[in-house]
Amino acid sequence: GIQVEQSPPDLILQEGANSTLRCNFSDSVNNLQWFHQNPWGQLINLFYIPSGTKQNGRLSATTVATERYSLLYISSSQTTDSGVYFCAVEGGGGGNKLTFGTGTQLKVEL
């Protein structure tokens, strides 16, 4: 099956700093989503981005499908950004089945 690796696995930032999270996948995908899992476990949709670039406030994402990676940018980080960030992909087999990446644990400190 498709492999999804994220880097870095852990990240500590000072409030106000910017960061880039990376997601590499091993095969072509029909769908790629970025999620934020808050400390209580709730997964929140951030982006549906199988290709191209999108922005939503302080967050933006870029997927280069031909090179099999996606980037999530967080600018002016806040303590509420803490949690785990996952990318998830749907491989060519379809069925809307998502394979989750390994995750990036982010902690934003004052």
Partner 1 sequence: GAVVSQHPSRVICKSGTSVKIECRSLDFQATTMFWYRQFPKQSLMLMATSNEGSKATYEQGVEKDKFLINHASLTLSTLTVTSAHPEDSSFYICSAGTSGYPETQYFGPGTRLLVL
Residue window 41-80: x/- pattern of binding to partner 1, with contact defined by CB under 8 A: xxxxx--x--------------------------------
Nearest distance from C-beta of residue 76 to partner 1, angstroms: 26
Separation CA 101–CA 110 (nearest Å): 28
Please state, in angstroms and rounded to a whole number, the distance separating the CA atoms of residues 79 and 92: 37
CB 4 within 8 A of CB 28: no
Cα separation, 32 vs 104, whole angstroms? 16
Residue 97 or 107: which CB sits closer to partner 1? 97
How many C-alpha atoms does 20 have within 13 Å on its Cβ side?
A: 6
Which one of residues 15, 18, 97, 109 is an interface residue with partner 1 (CB under 8 A)? 97
Q: Can residue 31 be called a binding residue for partner 1 (CB under 8 A)?
A: yes
Q: Is 18 in the site for partner 1 (CB under 8 A)?
A: no
- Of the candidate spans 16-24, 39-47, 54-62, 74-82, the one that interacts with partner 1 by CB under 8 A turns out to be 39-47
- For partner 1, the binding residue among 14, 39, 40, 110 (CB under 8 A) is 40
Among 26, 23, 25, 42, smallest CA distance to 87 is for 23
Residue 25 or 35 with smaller CB distance to partner 1? 35
